[in-house]
Amino acid sequence: MTSGWHIKPGDKVFRPRRIRRYHLRRVLGVAAVFSAGYGNVGSSISYALGIVSLAAVGATPLALGIAGILFVFTALTYAEGSAMFPEAGGSASFARHGFNDFVSFLSGWALMLSYVVTISISAFTIPPYLGYFWAPLKESPIIGTAVSIGIMLFLMMLNLIGIKGTSILNVWSAVIDLVTRILLVLVGFVLLFNPSLLWHRIVDHWPTAENLVLGIALASIAYTGIETASQMAEETRRPEKNVPRALVLMMIAVLAIFAGISIVSLLAVSPEQLASEWARDPVAGIAANIPMAVIANIFKPLIGILAGTILLIATNAGLIGISRLAFSLGQYNLMPSVLSRVHPKFKTPYFSIIIFTVIAIAILIPGFFAPDVFANIGALYAFGSLLAFMFSHAAIISLRIRKPELPRPFKLKGNIKIMGCELPVTAVLGLLSTFTVWIIISITQPFSSCVGFIWVAVGLVIYCLYRQKRRMPLLSVSKSAAK
């Protein structure tokens, strides 16, 4: 009897497959990351201003300002996390490193809810804004919904071909949007500024303490979407520097534009009008009430282009974000690995792009016969985003405690030392504030909380069944899956 194995004629030889991990191409710069993130965050002012005014009334600028502080905390947390872990996972990636797979999945699943809603609502809102140029886009639910679905299919094809092409679209769209909004704010201040009128509209319509708190909670809707920039870290050149730069630039641009628009809106229309007549189109309300007819007639079509452009960016950014998030979750055994498949030619996560476009289209189907079906979806969007933000802040704090030796190319300032650990003040305040706002949304918005908790429950079932099938513990930390 001889030792070892000898190959004989007819024997089948088993050769193990080479373990391989798919990678996305690093082709993006600061402008591309900024424009995609800004498109997702900046688009929300097109409807968030009206939603916030329903509760905050004359204190709408204050509500948006306080929520903007929370946005700064979150942007800084994402800057540190994205520089440490330049992966296509965002808060799910932070949670995996800071905690375990279970927390990572919860964060990623909450974000998926936000992304799906973003894709659907943004695409569904484009035709009404363009109705200025062709009335049936706004008046006909059938035409409007069909055009929305067509837009989503077009963006799906664009993303399948490659993200570099979509980044060009995002950059130019962001430039058009920024220029138009800056001009509108400047013209509004020059032609409408009246300190006495502004003071009376704020004081005479000051909300109750309860409504002010609710207004601040709803104002968080205006700043959700920052996740998109972080999701693109794995496709960004020098992500440890470029992603934080893009996040800081986006933070400055968003706060400046939102502050200007909210103040000018109170100068242009009364709080009652903002909360009723112009609730769905507050920026158009500003253009319609500019006193000089010549200038107003210029801005009316520009606003149609502005809204259509920025909402197109938001739709595309949502599709980019959810496909990259699914790519990351599949890579790390948090969801079926088919979601992380990359096209051999275009190097894009094609399966995720297709499946989530189909889900977003399915959400729009009721629009053919019930155009108001999305009236309460804004709070649902905030439900998922705020939950993910909570995990992000908590993960950064956990990493400071558990892994202080990790390199941090972008490290948050303003740290407090507790038992030898440097804890970032902004992350601590961000965790407390986002948790408080999420509780308020969950209590005061029954539709969003009901759907949101059902979504979480369904996700937990999928996660547990998948991990059981793979014979993996629920709380472990997985390495990337072998393909």
Element (H, E) at 168: helix 163-192
Average pLDDT over residues 54-82: 89
Domains of the chain by start residue, with CATH = 31-469 (1.20.1740.10)
Lowest mean pLDDT among 107-111, 325-329, 354-358, 391-395: 325-329
Model-level pTM greater than 0.85?
no
List all residues 6 or more positions away from 278 whose beta carbon is below 8 Å from its beta carbon. Answer: 50, 269, 284, 285, 288
Q: Are 437 and 388 in contact (CB under 8 A)?
A: no
pLDDT in tens, 212-222: 888 888 888 77
Q: Which residue has the higher pLDDT, 272 or 103?
A: 103
Q: How many residues does the chain have?
A: 483
Can you give the pLDDT at residue 483? 42
The rounded distance, in Å, linking the Cα atoms of 341 and 318 is 19
pLDDT in tens, 426-470: 999 999 999 998 998 898 888 888 888 999 999 999 899 999 988
Q: What are the φ/ψ torsions at residue 350 (nearest 5 degrees)? A: -65, -40
Q: Is the pLDDT of residue 103 over 60?
A: yes
Q: Are 384 and 114 in contact (CB under 8 A)?
A: yes
348 pLDDT band, cuts 50/70/90, is: confident
Q: Which residue has the higher pLDDT, 280 or 422?
A: 422
The rounded distance, in Å, linking the Cα atoms of 422 and 49 is 37
Can you give the pLDDT at residue 77? 92
- Residue from 229, 216, 259 nearest 386 by CA: 216
C-beta atoms surrounding 345 within 10 Å:
9
Q: Which residue has the higher pLDDT, 251 or 1?
A: 251
Can you give the pLDDT at residue 177? 75
- Residue from 118, 41, 79 nearest 233 by CA: 79
Q: Are 37 and 228 in contact (CB under 8 A)?
A: yes
Mean pLDDT (the chain) is: 81
**Alpha-helix runs per DSSP H in 269-407:** 271-275, 282-288, 293-331, 350-364, 377-402
The rounded distance, in Å, linking the Cα atoms of 94 and 113 is 18
| Crossing angle of helices 377-402 and 425-444, rounded to 10° | 150
